[in-house]
Chain A
Amino acid sequence: MPQIRTAYLGELDYADGTVFHFPYGLPGFEHEHAFLFLKQPHTEPLLFLQSLGNSRLCFILLPILVVDPNYAVNLDAEDLAALHLAPGRQPKIGEDILCAAIVTTGSVEQGEPTANLMAPVVVNLKEQIGMQVICADSPYSHRHPIPMGKDAAPCS
């Protein structure tokens, strides 16, 4: 079984069948085409999008419905085709696709973690093809505040 050194989860074995292909990479990382989705019990619901080609490159993601339970997917015909999804209808989160937002932990201006809801990572679960979909007409922000519990204590 192939092994990978990850940015946050140490060394891991992975099966070839668990690799997700990103034909266009991600904006800013166009040459990274293969990623693993990882998670660990003590940091759930966070997801880790770990690059296979660059062990230091790992994005922290949140399932989009965790950030906004009412989030509505809006993929255009080109996006659907690129992801090999059925044309003419929006895919269902959790059934057809995984949809997650990239988290920026403490952006410079705000100091609080934010999630990019304007450009979610969308993955065709059956075909294991993914891309970051940039929604031009999106009503969502690229720096959407992440919901936080008010009783959060800094050291518990």
Chain B
Amino acid sequence: MKRRAGESFTIGDEIEIEVLEVAGTRVKLGIVAPDSVAIVRKEARVTREENITASQPVGPDALTALAQRLWRQAKTTP
């Protein structure tokens, strides 16, 4: 699908996306969607998911092992 500024398209019956502006490498979009549909930048979603994984508790042995391996790395790097 190719769109110009001012043109739009729909996803299903309730979501409409309009290309508002194209400037260089950036595209400005306008989105009409129901309140129940969360609109989140991809990188924000990825970070959110990664944070939730990262927040899971880690055993003390794993922590010490990680630190030791980093420490060895630091010592062998000039």
Contacts and interface: CB of A to CB of B under 8 A. Distances in A.
Interface in A50-105: 56-60, 62, 66, 102-105
B51 to A, nearest CB: 4
B69 A118 contact: no
A28 B64 contact: no
Nearest to B54: A104
Contact of A151 (B47, B52, B65, B72): B72
Interface in B47-70: 47-55, 57-58, 60, 62-70
Contacts of A59: 51, 54-55
Interface stretch (B7-15, B16-24, B28-36, B38-46): B38-46
Contact of A60 (B52, B54, B74): B54
Contacts of B71: 44-45, 149
A46 interface: yes
A28 B73 contact: no
A7 B44 CA distance: 26
Nearest to B46: A142
Nearest to A156: B68
Interface residues of B, number: 31
A67 to B, nearest CB: 9
Nearest to B59: A105
Contacts, number: 110
A149 B53 contact: no
Contacts of B67: 42-46
A8 B60 contact: yes
Nearest to B61: A155
Interface of B: 41, 43-44, 46-55, 57-58, 60, 62-76
14 contacts: A27-B44, A28-B55, A29-B51, A56-B57, A59-B51, A116-B51, A116-B54, A135-B43, A142-B50, A146-B66, A147-B73, A149-B73, A149-B75, A151-B72
Given A148-B70, A156-B68, 8 more contacts: A57-B55, A59-B54, A105-B62, A116-B47, A116-B54, A118-B47, A132-B47, A149-B71
